[in-house]
Structure 1
Amino acid sequence: MEHHDNAPVETGAPMDYREHEKTYDFFLNGTKWSVMVIVVLLLAMATGFFTSAGLIGAAFVFIVLNAAGVFLLR
């Protein structure tokens, strides 16, 4: 007992493509920056835990790599 409807799929309001593109760009940028910060944080934590750099060295690595990431990802 299948029901096949020949009506168009979109029967609601027309899609706002400009707003859709803005949302998609915002999502991609947020994902890009979040991944960069998480990777830099993991590298800084590895530096602090597994080398003799300690907390100050890890903080320095975190700041330097974030600055480099902002420069490279813009």
Structure 2
Amino acid sequence: MAEDFSNEPIVSAPMDYPQHERTYAGFLWLVKYGSIAIVAILLAMLASLIGSWGILGGLFVFIASGAVLAYVLS
């Protein structure tokens, strides 16, 4: 009736550490460039909607801030 629950680790499935490292690297890449895109979009919205730059100014700020942020964070 009572089963033997020992504290032994399960060794039936070995871990694929290179795959885990590639997945983690991909996750970090996505977080990094996703954050850059969000900040660039917010700065473009700030320039075009609140400032007097208009749509072309917002597009310029989006491209310039995205490039600067990608350069700084790489």
Deviations 1:19-72 (A, max 9, x none): 101101110111111011011101110110001100010000001001101211
- Report the secondary structure of 2:19's partner residue: helix
Distance in 2 (CA, whole Å) between partners of 1:38 and 1:4 is 52
Match of 1:42 in 2: 42
What RMSD in Å do the two structures reach over aligned CA positions?
A: 1.9
5+ long unaligned stretches in structure 2: none
Give the length in aligned residue pairs: 73
Match of 1:26 in 2: 26
1:1-74 maps to which residues of 2 (within 5 A)? 5-74=5-74
Identity %: 38
C-alpha change, 1:14 and 1:54, in structure 2 (3 Å) is: same
5+ long unaligned stretches in structure 1: none
- Report the secondary structure of 1:18's partner residue: helix
